[in-house]
Structure 1
Amino acid sequence: MKYMVLMYADPAATEAMSAEERADVFRRHEALHQDLEGSGEMLNGAGLAYPKDTTTIRWRDGDGSATTDGPFIEATEQLTAYYVIDCASPERARAIAERVVDFHVVAVEVRAIHDSFGMDGA
């Protein structure tokens, strides 16, 4: 089953990280990538631009769409990176996700991917 692992962090804390802290985060993610690529479980993943550099487009009933600068939801923690993994069970997906929670990535959401955009009634 495919899963999306969504990582959340405080962008201000990310900007304030020392070079040593950034190197530690990089090393841990690189080790995880290598493990998951070796097992065939890593399909994709990337870090995302800071939320302040995003655009949100919302549907306004009767008015079409409206565009605003910034993230979809105002919050301290914002979506910062993601992995797409393919593994045998929800438990395995959660075990992978637990490897990225730390002082930087303070929350991780694990969500199953439905190939038909979630519209298959599941």
Structure 2
Amino acid sequence: MKYMLLIYSNPESWAGLSAEQREDLSRSHQDLTRELTEQGLLVSAAGLADPITTRTVSVDADNTRSTTDGPYAEAKEHLAGFYLVECEDIDQAIDYAARMPDAKYVAVEVRPVMDASGLEM
């Protein structure tokens, strides 16, 4: 089953990291990406641009489009990146999420990805 490992961050936690901690975080992601790739578990992974570049789009009942700057939710934390992995079960996905360096600073969310039918939930 596929799982999204959603990496959250906030400006305060990032600003509080030393240069060495930032390098370690990057190196840890490279190591984990390599391991997941070698095991055939990595489907995709990416970091996301700063939330200031985000645009939120909605369409009302009259099909009028509205676009606003910034993310939909007003929160300190923002989605900073993701891994899409193919795991045997949620426990294996949780194990990988716990190994992400970001879990030490803010959080990594694990969410099952539904197939087209959505019946597995």
Which TM-score band (shorter chain)?
0.7 to 0.9
Q: Which residue of 1 aligns with 2:112?
A: 112
Work out the CA distance in 1 between the residues paired with 2:113 and 2:57: 23
After TM superposition, give the deviation of residue 43 of structure 1 in Å: 1.0
Q: Which moved more, 1:21-30 or 1:78-87?
A: 21-30
Let me know the Cα RMSD of the aligned residues: 1.7
Please identify runs of 4+ aligned residues in structure 1 that moved more than 4 A.
none
Aligned residues: 118
Report SS of the residue matched to 1:73.
coil
Structure 1 residue 68 and structure 2 residue 68: aligned?
yes
After TM superposition, give the deviation of residue 21 of structure 1 in Å: 1.9
Q: Which residue of 1 aligns with 2:27?
A: 27
Change (3 A) 1:65 1:16: farther
Q: Which residue of 1 aligns with 2:11?
A: 11
The alignment's TM-score, normalised by the length of structure 1, stands at: 0.86
Work out the CA distance in 2 between the residues paired with 1:58 and 1:17: 36
Q: Which moved more, 1:58-67 or 1:33-42?
A: 58-67
Change (3 A) 1:15 1:49: farther
Change (3 A) 1:98 1:64: same
After TM superposition, give the deviation of residue 109 of structure 1 in Å: 1.2
Q: Flag structure 2 segments of 5+ consecutive residues without an equivalent.
A: none
Structure 1 residue 93 and structure 2 residue 90: aligned?
no
Report SS of the residue matched to 2:4.
strand
Q: Which moved more, 1:78-87 or 1:20-29?
A: 20-29
After TM superposition, give the deviation of residue 16 of structure 1 in Å: 5.3
Percent sequence identity over aligned pairs: 38
Q: Deviations over 1:52-100 (max 9, x none)?
A: 1111112334453310001111111100010000010110011111111
Q: Flag structure 1 segments of 5+ consecutive residues without an equivalent.
A: none
8 A contact 1:9–1:79 mirrored in 2: yes
Give the letter aligned to residue 118 of structure 2: D
